[in-house]
Amino acid sequence: MPVRLRIRVRTEREVELVALLNSGYEAPFPQLLIPIDVAKELGLWPPEGSFEVTLETAGGPLRAWYYTRRAFVKVVAGDVESREVLTDIVISPRYGLSRPTPFGLARD
């Protein structure tokens, strides 16, 4: 069963999203996969200072852009927030995150 969490992502800008807790792969450092529209909101698109990668996924190769240690992320649950964690950012043209709304989740 998928577990989704409300998160706050901060670079020079900040956005609040709903993210899938476990994406099915392991990494040596925390990573957050975001779509291009969220990258734009965070000031990370166009991807200057990132490097282009090809990720092997169950759906086939995925072209993405990778920033090392680029954002701070924390979990938001009602009026309680976790500590911030420094994360790598992976920008994907193919996948999206859910947006919190007053009525639940809206899918991008």
pTM (2 d.p.): 0.82
The residues, any chain, with a CB within 8 Å of residue 29's CB and separated by 6 or more, are 69, 87, 88
Q: If pLDDT is split at 50, 70 and 90, which confidence band does 4 have?
A: confident
Domain that holds residue 101: 4-107
User: Which tens digit of pLDDT belongs to each residue from 25-64?
Assistant: 788 999 999 999 999 999 999 999 999 999 888 888 989 9
User: Which tens digit of pLDDT belongs to each residue from 77-102?
Assistant: 999 999 999 999 999 987 655 555 54
Count structural domains, the chain. 1
Q: If pLDDT is split at 50, 70 and 90, which confidence band does 76 have?
A: very high
What CATH number is given to the structural domain containing 77? 2.40.70
